[in-house]
Structure 1
Amino acid sequence: MFTDIQLNERLQKALDAQGIHTPTEVQQATLEPALQGKDLMISAVTGSGKTYAFLLPLLQRFIDTPAPRSATRALILVPTRELAEQVSKSCDQLAAFTQIKSMSVFGGVGFKEQAARLRKNPEILVATPGRLLEHLESGSVDLSDLEALVLDEADRMLDMGFSEDVLKIATACRSERQTLLFSATLNTREIGHLIQQVMRDPEALLLSDARTRVTAITQQIVLADDAKHKERLLNQLLTETPFQRALIFTNTRVAADQLGHLLRYHKHRTAVLHGDMDQPQRRLVLQRFRDNAIQILVATDVAARGLDIEGVDLVINYMMARSGDDYVHRIGRTGRAGQQGTAISLISAAEWNLMCSIERYLKVKFERRTLAGLEGSFNGPTRTKSSGKAVGKKKRTDSKKPEAKPKVKKRLRDQKTIGKRRQPNIPPSGEQPVDQGFAPLKKKST
């Protein structure tokens, strides 16, 4: 129970208003060391309550030690705009009965309007690295009083090319600060350089990793011959599979738009979400999805991290994720907080090896599924011999083949006597010569 952790009564009241009474595993493990000011690296499965795991200790500290004249006291960096809005909303809900203010900063909205709001010095700032760096360069943000830096989905920020921006932002922060790093797929080898430069003797709380199997999610694959076959398979899956909300992932923005048009042609209530859309459009799409005005959302990996949308019970990888970590985050949009969910991946011949590598990485075996009437010809790669010879052919054994004549070794001494007259052997003195059949030598006439 949260009452056992002795949270401030105002935070407890906010939790009660949301119907939250019991901390999750990651919240229970994080709260005490975070309140002690330790630098932490936390890895926990998606949907486990990581956002409240870092917001609760921040708010508790700020309530206990108010600093009304300070600049921003906590900075939370996130990889996407949608995640920034979601974290900021969660912060407002937890701080509803306090005087603590938060603000989100990201691209796609007016820069001047954000700068005007930043002059009010919100205590908690939730931002994406690119837009925050612009405000730092223009002098709109003051991080000299910063007490805590939170890197949410740090590995994803590095994957998106924000490594240099994150380091610049960390350098602009006060050096005597606490740093918290959270992710569902924390790989210390890949982000080791970031840890060394922004953290001080961090304590690792690895409650899970990318290989942690999500037992609440049924993971299946359906084999496809080509793109047209995939389209027919997807339409039938959405027709015969019961679901409340479905999230379909592609690897490119163009593919997302094309697939959205196709599904709308087949009378599915569908919308598209990707990085080329401006922020008001993206916000409207997500709100319609949450309100069930649309039932299917086709998206790129911009929707794979951190988004918490209730009722998503079906995830389809129309194009297979590029890595095991990306696959974990995609399917993590369903089966959240112990709920049941289904993840289906459409696999073509070109994606077979990628699918197998993800199976090995996660140490799982995907269930194979077929759709009646749409069985394809591709059933996985055929086995071939490693020698490269054609499978099924035998060696030729022809008994009528004439035997090869044995090779005669040519000796050098035999070659020296070619064309020379052989002389008879001369016996030792006292012995009779042996007739060797040589003709007598003729005496030359003078």
Structure 2
Amino acid sequence: MTFADLIIDQDMVDALASKGIVEPFPIQEQTIPLALSGQDIIGQAKTGTGKTFGFGLPLIQRLGPNPEHGVKALVVVPTRELCVQVAEDLELAAKNRKTQVVAIYGGKAYEGQIEQLKAGAQIVVGTPGRLLDLASQRMLDLGNVREMVLDEADKMLDLGFLADIEKLFSKTPSDRHTMLFSATMPGPIVALARRFMSKPIHIRANDPDEGLTQANIKHVVYRAHSLDKDEVVARILQAEGRGKTVIFTRTKRAAAKLVEELGDRGFNAAAVHGDLNQDQRERAMAAFKAGKKDVLIATDVAARGIDVHDVTHVINHTIPEDEKTYLHRAGRTGRAGKTGIAVTFVDWDDLHKWALINRALEMDQPEPVETYSSSPHLYEDLDIPAGSKGRLKPTPLKDKAPDALGGRPGSGSGAASGLSNRPPRSRNRSRTRGGQGGTSALGAQQETTSAPEASGTHDGQGHEHHDGNSAPRRRSRTRRRSAKPE
């Protein structure tokens, strides 16, 4: 089956074909015909199965090839990264028509987004906070919205956006066409659907024989020591056939530290986390998608927006908090029908967390294998070439502590005397007593240019110079105490 068979307009079929997207996925086959007819839909499918085009193509087609200016469709997403990704997909589908798409999200200046709205953008993709902000400023009018989509609804719930979603629904007409998409369906999301949707049809695009985890993803779990993790990661990054890789950390600090460590080891790594501003995050994502960086280190906030089809490995540097987070992390690989590998490190203190995840996902791996960077099974499990080390380039030379004599290793003949590796000075110091060539009656030092007949000697072993003269007498100073005022 092709998209043309699903009665999608030819201009959109051609736009998708230009990127090699020809055959629809199961969720798209089931969703598109119903959505084109105006049926409210609850779509449930695992991440990476094509939900965006499942709702995006019908939405664009229902607006027509030349829609009037003004917001006619609203797509609400939980994160900035996902907002950018969905907007790019919709722009691709609509590139052969006059429909305009604008991404509305925080961390970016208001002016550019407001200009696009004033220019007449018909489709708005946005995060709840910025959407409500612009709506309260009367810069975003949702009164004419005919199509509304709630994407990744379960993540909205996790991030505490449920109240904001209800406010957005209340600002749109009650007779709008509504679609809700989510990987899981917790109770509050079902209640939200019943409240704001009209007789929705629930579509599940899951294979009943597949189990809770995707069959095209190999899941590997290791009990690893925190001090050895970076070395293990570096060796995994040298596995046969490794493509783009996403590494998840629990904290922003850990992500920043790991990207620096991998960069020092010679890997092309970028990071996406909350301590970076939005421009930095977007540049990192763009470099990863373009292949300039083949390792992306991220915290869970960015997980939903990483929609790159050629990710071969996902590495959980720290164990996810629960089974839902595990599924969303692992879902970054094995997308669009391709295969992938998900590697999870479990610390000794987190074995109880893994037991819960293992039981919930029925993974049948209750005891993670104790693994170190030198473990033979690590190389066998992940097709790592024998002899691989955790560094692509040599360790940079750094200054070491001075030795016992005050020198530095490798500084040549001057090492013993604590001198840097530089040519010796061509001068000799001679001491004279007052009145004998000195400049002061009290005795001063005089520097004279050394000559062949100079009497100074040096034994080359760090001992002091000798000029044959007796040393001058030391001056003694007597301190006089000032009389204390009575």
TM-score grouping bracket, smaller chain normalisation: 0.7 to 0.9
Larger radius of gyration: 1
Change beyond 3 A, Cα 1:8–1:239:
closer
Q: Supply the distance in 1 between the matched residues of 2:302 and 2:240 (Cα, whole angstroms).
A: 22
Provide the residue aligned with 1:247 in structure 2: 246
Provide the residue aligned with 2:191 in structure 1: 193
Cα deviation for residue 168 of structure 1 reads: 0.9
Write out per-residue CA displacement over residues 292-316 of structure 1, whole angstroms, 9 at most, x where no aligned residue.
2222111101332142213211110
Partners of 2:102 and 2:113 within 8 A in 1: no
Provide the residue aligned with 1:52 in structure 2: 53
Cα deviation for residue 3 of structure 1 reads: 2.4
Give the counterpart letter for 1:38 in structure 2.
Answer: Q
2:206 is aligned, of 169, 184, 208, to 208
Provide the residue aligned with 1:25 in structure 2: 26
Cα deviation for residue 236 of structure 1 reads: 3.2
Cα deviation for residue 136 of structure 1 reads: 0.6
Q: Supply the distance in 2 between the matched residues of 1:67 and 1:258 (Cα, whole angstroms).
A: 48
Give the counterpart letter for 1:252 in structure 2.
Answer: T
Cα deviation for residue 16 of structure 1 reads: 2.8
Give the counterpart letter for 2:169 in structure 1.
Answer: A
Q: Supply the distance in 2 between the matched residues of 1:10 and 1:292 (Cα, whole angstroms).
A: 29
Provide the residue aligned with 1:343 in structure 2: 342
Provide the residue aligned with 1:107 in structure 2: 106
Cα deviation for residue 244 of structure 1 reads: 1.7
Give the counterpart letter for 1:207 in structure 2.
Answer: A
Aligned pair 1:326/2:325, yes or no?
yes
Cα deviation for residue 371 of structure 1 reads: 4.5
RMSD between aligned alpha carbons?
2.2
The secondary structure found in structure 2 opposite 1:150 is strand
Give the counterpart letter for 1:22 in structure 2.
Answer: E
Alignment of 1:251-330 (within 5 A): 251-330=250-329
Change beyond 3 A, Cα 1:372–1:83:
closer
Write out per-residue CA displacement over residues 122-168 of structure 1, whole angstroms, 9 at most, x where no aligned residue.
11110011111110110001111111110110111121121111111
The secondary structure found in structure 1 opposite 2:227 is helix
Q: Supply the distance in 1 between the matched residues of 2:310 and 2:224 (Cα, whole angstroms).
A: 28
Partners of 1:150 and 1:180 within 8 A in 2: yes
Aligned pair 1:35/2:36, yes or no?
yes
The secondary structure found in structure 1 opposite 2:5 is helix
The secondary structure found in structure 2 opposite 1:354 is helix
Cα deviation for residue 334 of structure 1 reads: 0.8
The secondary structure found in structure 2 opposite 1:191 is helix
Q: Supply the distance in 1 between the matched residues of 2:80 and 2:196 (Cα, whole angstroms).
A: 23
Q: Supply the distance in 2 between the matched residues of 1:368 and 1:39 (Cα, whole angstroms).
A: 47
Cα deviation for residue 91 of structure 1 reads: 1.1
Alignment of 1:405-420 (within 5 A): none
Q: Supply the distance in 1 between the matched residues of 2:293 and 2:18 (Cα, whole angstroms).
A: 29
Q: Supply the distance in 2 between the matched residues of 1:212 and 1:346 (Cα, whole angstroms).
A: 20
Provide the residue aligned with 1:221 in structure 2: 221
Q: Supply the distance in 2 between the matched residues of 1:101 and 1:373 (Cα, whole angstroms).
A: 54
Partners of 2:148 and 2:178 within 8 A in 1: yes
Write out per-residue CA displacement over residues 105-126 of structure 1, whole angstroms, 9 at most, x where no aligned residue.
1111111232222122311110
The secondary structure found in structure 2 opposite 1:304 is helix
Change beyond 3 A, Cα 1:25–1:240:
closer
Change beyond 3 A, Cα 1:112–1:238:
same
Q: Supply the distance in 1 between the matched residues of 2:211 and 2:146 (Cα, whole angstroms).
A: 33
Q: Supply the distance in 2 between the matched residues of 1:17 and 1:232 (Cα, whole angstroms).
A: 41
The secondary structure found in structure 1 opposite 2:119 is coil
Partners of 1:220 and 1:369 within 8 A in 2: no
Query: What percentage of aligned pairs have identical amino acids?
Result: 33
Q: Supply the distance in 1 between the matched residues of 2:120 and 2:110 (Cα, whole angstroms).
A: 16
Provide the residue aligned with 1:3 in structure 2: 4
What TM-score, normalized by structure 1, do the two folds share?
0.78
Moved more, 39-48 or 139-148: 39-48
Write out per-residue CA displacement over residues 389-422 of structure 1, whole angstroms, 9 at most, x where no aligned residue.
xxxxxxxxxxxxxxxxxxxxxxxxxxxxxxxxxx
Cα deviation for residue 190 of structure 1 reads: 4.1
Q: Supply the distance in 1 between the matched residues of 2:373 and 2:252 (Cα, whole angstroms).
A: 31
Cα deviation for residue 217 of structure 1 reads: 0.9
Q: Supply the distance in 1 between the matched residues of 2:263 and 2:17 (Cα, whole angstroms).
A: 41
What TM-score, normalized by structure 2, do the two folds share?
0.72
Provide the residue aligned with 1:164 in structure 2: 163
Q: Supply the distance in 2 between the matched residues of 1:135 and 1:150 (Cα, whole angstroms).
A: 18
Partners of 1:290 and 1:310 within 8 A in 2: no
Q: How many pairs align?
A: 372
Q: Supply the distance in 2 between the matched residues of 1:142 and 1:104 (Cα, whole angstroms).
A: 15
Partners of 2:224 and 2:371 within 8 A in 1: no
Partners of 1:223 and 1:346 within 8 A in 2: yes
Cα deviation for residue 86 of structure 1 reads: 1.3
Cα deviation for residue 266 of structure 1 reads: 2.3
Q: Supply the distance in 2 between the matched residues of 1:241 and 1:265 (Cα, whole angstroms).
A: 22
Q: Which structure 1 segments of 5+ residues have no match? A: 376-446
Provide the residue aligned with 1:381 in structure 2: none
Change beyond 3 A, Cα 1:336–1:67:
closer
Write out per-residue CA displacement over residues 365-406 of structure 1, whole angstroms, 9 at most, x where no aligned residue.
24747456359xxxxxxxxxxxxxxxxxxxxxxxxxxxxxxx
Give the counterpart letter for 1:15 in structure 2.
Answer: L
Q: Supply the distance in 1 between the matched residues of 2:11 and 2:59 (Cα, whole angstroms).
A: 14
Change beyond 3 A, Cα 1:373–1:307:
closer
Give the counterpart letter for 1:4 in structure 2.
Answer: D
Provide the residue aligned with 1:385 in structure 2: none
